[in-house]
Amino acid sequence: MSTVKVTDDTFQSDVLQSETPVLVDFWAEWCGPCKQIAPALEQLAAELQGKVTIAKLDIEQSPTTPSRYGVRGIPTMMLFKGGQMASMKVGAMPKQKILEWLTEAGVAA
């Protein structure tokens, strides 16, 4: 499975009402570090299928959700569990660091 695109309109149903934890990557087309982490997120989406959904929200196309959650810099990754933001990381990280973060949050094994 690959990453899932979410928007302001689908955030409630795709993220907050998800049965599985959702990692939301807040990004923009012009953001270099966002493009750097994209391949790692695609790999993790495939490797952790069924454990966590990896979603991408373009802050240019959907500005309401990032402002609601106080996103100030991108990339910002937020982990949602049970409709609540459980953990957040700001900035680009290598795949291993993202995996460690997810493991600490209890969603990757």
31 catalytic? Reply is yes
Catalytic site residue from 6, 31, 41, 52 = 31
Q: How many helices (H) and strands (E) does the chain have?
A: 4, 5
- 3-state secondary structure string across 4-28: EEECCCCHHHHHHCCCCCEEEEEEC
34 catalytic? Reply is yes
Q: Crossing angle for the helix pair 32-47 and 95-104, nearest 10 degrees? A: 60
Catalytic site residue from 22, 23, 34, 108 = 34
Residue where the block lists tokens 């990692």: 23
Sign of the Cα pseudo-torsion (66, 69, 72, 75, in order): negative
Catalytic residues: 31, 34
